[in-house]
């Protein structure tokens, strides 16, 4: 169950500058845990004190926003790309 995680610029200080990481995991929670094992400390930056995804983060599994798909429980298929994207203002 190998997935590719795309790391946004502000998080690359936690990955030694790497823009992607390849980890194992069958859902978003497992992917976050695997990322934290590969890059200790990254979990604290993705999850708030209550263990939920931080409110200014958007996480996508392929093209699906995980908030429409179960949040941390959202399934992550083998070979998927997980994108972590800070929320932006707009219009």
Q: Which is nearer to other proteins, 1 or 69 (CB)?
A: 69
Which residue of 5, 42, 57, 76 would you call a contact of other proteins, by CB under 8 A? 57
**Contact string (CB under 8 A) for other proteins, positions 17-56, x = contact:** --x-------------------------x--------xxx
Q: Are 19 and 85 in contact (CB under 8 A)?
A: no
Nearer to other proteins, 78 or 90 (CB): 90
Instruction: For the CB of residue 37, give the shortest distance to other proteins in the complex, in Å.
Output: 20
CA triple 28-19-32, angle to 5 deg: 20
Cβ(33)–Cβ(77) below 8 Å = no
Distance CA 73, CA 69 (A): 8
């Amino acid at each position: 169950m190998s997935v590719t995680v795309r790391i946004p610029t502000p998080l690359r200080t936690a990955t030694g500058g790497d823009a992607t990481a390849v980890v194992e995991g069958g859902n978003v929670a497992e992917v976050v845990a695997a990322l934290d094992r590969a890059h200790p400390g990254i979990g604290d930056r993705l999850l708030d004190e209550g263990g939920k995804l931080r409110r200014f983060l958007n996480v996508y599994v392929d093209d699906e926003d995980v908030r429409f798909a179960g949040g941390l429980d959202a399934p992550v298929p083998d070979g998927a790309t997980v994108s972590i994207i800070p929320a932006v203002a707009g219009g």
